[in-house]
Structure 1
Amino acid sequence: MGENLYLIFLSLLLFLISSATIPDDIRLSPNANFPVRQAEKLIRQLNLLPKDAVESIDDDDDSSLAPKLVEKRFKFPNILHSGDSVKDLGHHAGYYRIQHSHAAKMFYFFFESRNNKKDPVVIWLTGGPGCSSELAVFYENGPFTIANNLSLASNLLYVDQPTGTGFSYSSDVRDIRHNEGGVSDDLYDFLQAFFAEHPHYAKNDFYITGESYAGHYIPAFAARVHKGNKAKEGIQINLKGFAIGNGLTDPAIQYKAYTDYSLDMGIITESQYKRVNKLLPACELAIKLCGTDGTVSCMASYVVCNSIFNKIIRIAGDINYYDIRKKCEGSLCYDFSNMEKFLNQKSVREALGVGAIEFVSCSTSVYMAMLMDWMRNLEVGIPALLEDGIKLLVYAGEYDLICNWLGNSRWIHAMEWSGQKEFVASPTVHNAGHMVPMDQPKAALEMLKRWTQGELAEATAKSEDGIAVM
């Protein structure tokens, strides 16, 4: 009975959105109606199986002799522009058999610090959901293409997650993750195996970093590590802090910032601003329902709230919503085809030990599987971490629309905790879009170094290195 009443209410909500006294050009399109049954059917049918088995991994999960983590040193063949700077750098690639899965394998890169092995261990998580962390390896802060990268200051881990992302895969559809609980448990299990394999890094300071949809992953993962430490579940992980770049963390606040940011940046006019804002009440109500129900209602909130963003993009035309200074080219607004071609070369796959798995930058299947997680608020778990002394850094490039600095600034300043008034670790990075380490590598490196050393407040107060307080 309750479910029927809910569906009736949901239908009424969507009817009101599409038929309210709003000009025809900003109604929710009939082609974008709420596909409850279709979406549920699609999610059930998602298949993340690779075309071929991974050649270098024992896929017999029933075998107690199969190692949990298989890692190898590697050297890329025919790599261009790497230079002498990476000549002596320790490169590792590997697979981890996810402990609480049916047949999932998590792929990762590990790069040793060029400075000191006692430098912090930093894990990087790319968002999407479903986008590979290899994007960061080759285009942002990895050791191959730029001089100002994180390996100058830390030991770097890049993980393809959730299952089905990048080179990570499963031969069992039950390993698909749909929420942060499953994602963070997998990452925590991976860390335990990694530090068991590399015990000399276990006592190093540990930081969690990433961008975009990792604004969901990172707080949940940090909370999972902290929980494991407090419960003494396994190896103690020396978690010192977590950093979110251009993230989606509190959708209820951030989605309301779309129109304000777009108006301030000249993307929409005042009259367009007023019209699009008429969609906000429906978005707010849908998000509230997601917060209490957490299942089908979260799919509804995704559709309803993204009608705001989609309308702005239709007005803006071919704008790159990751960097409004540029035009959108291709399905991701950036051309990552060279990386995909490189990683799909047979010699490269053999060097990495990934067999014949086809690499794609971003997985549509993983994206769809996580849709009901999209509108959940991950800010709620952060204050407890801050109260226990774990540091937070939230930064954003000034020209990013999709996870803009304004929305991030608002949720940070709305977050209630004992250090709320003094909190300053929320810089805006000038002349950068969504991918800050790609656009401003020197500023990104300095920001991370100063934050880990407790010196960021002084730098942002002086607006040094293209960084200013939000």
Structure 2
Amino acid sequence: MANSKWSQILFIVIITLANLFQCNIATDPFVQQGQDNIGRALPGQNFNISFEHYSGYITVNEDVGRNLFYWFIQADHVDPTSKPLLLWFNGGPGCSSIAYGEAEEIGPFHINSDGKNLHFNPYSWNQVANILYIDSPVGVGFSYSTKNSSDDILNNGDKRTAEDNLIFLLKWFERFPQYKKTDFFISGESYAGHYVPQLSQVIVKYNSATKHDSINFKGFMVGNALTDDFHDQLGIFEFMWTNGMISDQTFKLLNLLCDFQSVEHPSQSCERILEIADKEMGNIDPYSIFTPPCHANDNQQIKRKNSVGRLRGVYDPCTEKHSTIYFNRPEVQRILHVDPDYKPAKWETCSTVVNTNWKDSPRTVLDIYRELIPTGLRIWIFSGNTDAVIPVTSTRYTINALKLPTVSPWRAWYDDGEVGGWTQEYAGLTFVNVRGAGHEVPLHRPKLALTLIKAFLAGTSMPTLEPLTAAS
């Protein structure tokens, strides 16, 4: 879809939503947030919590009964409404934000290797914000349609996802009106590099088109994000070569045979050289090239040491397997208010059907950045520097394409006296590189990720190294 056509359609959609929104609210079967309250104990939860959390459905299309499943976890604070509200997306397209964002990255409830019990995440982002996770689009996780379900799932794409997510938000704020005035931010990773700026654009247009029920939207942040096909793919090949993962000859052929125009629809000659590159890389996890991959018959947690023998903690490369076990348990689905009449035959972290039938995906969203940066939104991009899927080289090429003036030059940022990564601030955009993190930054570097989100929400620069004080 051409960028100009996309923008025109969005404007028409926003005006339509503004006119129809009030009548849609009345048809929502859940009008009291208490009906979605989960309580203080999930199956396998052997620790106490002091915050409330809720889950349920929001109907975003009455005609086909399209329902998006959400999990809302309040900030761990005496007054949650005094903390920002953060909406989190994972990517795919077709992957569950609950499977990844909540259960292994930024949420408080993480799943043990047995798939039955939970452990508390001490670096949960709900220490500093209320977190809202959506299984988006329909067909992902527990989200479903009641009519023509198969056809509806086959017609997902960027445009409809942005429209549905806006409707979701408008109706969710009606269910939780105490958060209407709360500062609202959006974040996500990977293919959410499309979801997040596209939804941001729709929100800005909605707020401009209507004077009632506007969303108190302040900004967005994306990580290891698919942004621009040309620069993303250019950076991938360079990253693989400079990290010694592919041969000189393969690197040359990748640049010769792959035109950098589409990561989703490469030519046959490009496909063949990509297969060669994959073989040369070997059995590694491309999402985190220096950590062990998940072995199918090995459920043991794998310890990862650094050069001086200290443990970052325990890294488990098989977290997806644990989620699959946990969220397929009937007692878990029951307490999460999963509709028993429309629960998936088998819950999966990602939907192959959604992914392989995706209808529209623009080659770039840089035009959206160019549109939104002048509005004054807080916009951050972060990148784990051990990811080979959408590596830091891709992100840097993409940001450079925006040709933004530098406000604060490249420097190291620190966490507890050690380099946490590097950062550069531009006019209207901040870039943060997270040292030693893969594609899912909060999974591999949870403490650094918490430092990152604190700075983003506060609107401050990443921490500098505090000067040493003289001994008394």
One-letter identity of the residue aligned with 2:455: R
Given the alignment, which residue of 344, 362, 365 partners 2:350?
362
Question: CA 1:304–1:150 in 2, change beyond 3 Å: closer, same or farther?
Answer: farther
More strand by share: 2
Pair 1:102 & 2:102 matched: no
Q: 1:148 maps to which residue?
A: 123
DSSP 3-state at the match of 1:110: strand
Q: 1:214 aligns with which of 192, 203, 225?
A: 192
Within the alignment, does 1:133 sit opposite 2:100 as a pair? no
| Separation in structure 2 between the aligned mates of residue 225 and residue 302 of structure 1, nearest angstrom | 36
**Count of aligned residue pairs for this structure pair:** 383
Provide structure 2 residue ranges, at least 5 long, that are not aligned to the other structure. Answer: 1-23, 110-119, 297-316, 408-425, 468-472
Identity %: 27
C-alpha separation in 2, matches of 1:153 and 1:74: 21
Q: Residue 401 in 1 paired to residue 388 in 2?
A: yes
SS across alignment from 2:181: coil
Equivalent in the alignment of 1:120: 84
Tell me how far apart the structure 1 counterparts of residues 459 and 28 of structure 2 sit (CA, whole Å): 43
1:229 maps to which of 199, 204, 207: 207
Say yes or no: does 1:435 pair with 2:440. Answer: yes
CA, structure 1 residues 206+64, in 2 after alignment: closer, same or farther (shift >3 Å)?
Answer: closer
Q: Deviations over 1:350-372 (max 9, x none)?
A: 111212433111100111122x5
Contact 2:283 2:293 in 1 (8 A): yes
Report the CA distance shift for 1:131/1:205 in structure 2 as closer, same or farther (over 3 A).
Answer: same
What's the secondary structure of 1:256's corresponding residue?
A: helix
After TM superposition, give the deviation of residue 323 of structure 1 in Å: 0.4
2:373–2:429: 8 Å Cα contact kept in structure 1? no
Query: Structure 1: how far apart are the matches of 2:438 and 2:84?
Result: 26
The alpha-carbon deviation at position 416 of structure 1 amounts to 4.2
Q: Distance in 1 between matches of 2:366 and 2:272?
A: 23
RMSD of equivalent CA atoms: 2.8
* Structure 1 residue runs without a partner (length 5+): 1-61, 288-297, 465-470
TM-score (norm 1): 0.75
Normalising by the residue count of structure 2, what TM-score does the alignment of the two structures yield?
0.75
Indicate which of 318, 327, 336 corresponds to 1:343: 327
Please state whether the residue corresponding to 1:74 is helix, strand or coil.
coil
Q: Equivalents in 1 of 2:267, 2:226: separation in Å?
A: 13
The separation in 2 between residues aligned to 1:424 and 1:221, in whole angstroms, is 18
Closer, same or farther: CA 120–401 of 1 in aligned 2, 3 Å:
same
Alignment of structure 1 residues 55-74 onto 2, 5 Å: 67=29, 71-74=35-38
> Structure 1 residue 275: deviation in Å?
2.3
1:392 equivalent to 2:341? Answer no
Q: CA deviation at 1:374?
A: 4.5
Q: Secondary structure at the match of 1:148?
A: coil
Distance 2:449 2:393 in 1: 19
**Mapping 1:447-462, distance limit 5 Å:** 447-456=452-461, 458-459=462-463
Name the residue aligned to 2:14: none
Measured in 1, the distance between the counterparts of 2:446 and 2:392 equals 18
String of CA shifts for 1:335-390, please: whole Å, max 9, x gaps: 412222111111111111212433111100111122x5346211211121110001
Measured in 1, the distance between the counterparts of 2:465 and 2:25 equals 58
The amino acid of 1:252's aligned partner reads F
8 Å CA contact 1:219–1:379 kept in 2: the answer is no
The residue number in structure 1 matching 2:135 is: 160
Structure 1: which amino acid aligns with 2:129?
Answer: S
Please, which of 402, 406, 422 is the counterpart of residue 415 of structure 1?
Answer: 402
Partner SS, residue 218 of structure 2: strand
The residue that corresponds to 2:337 in the other structure is: 353
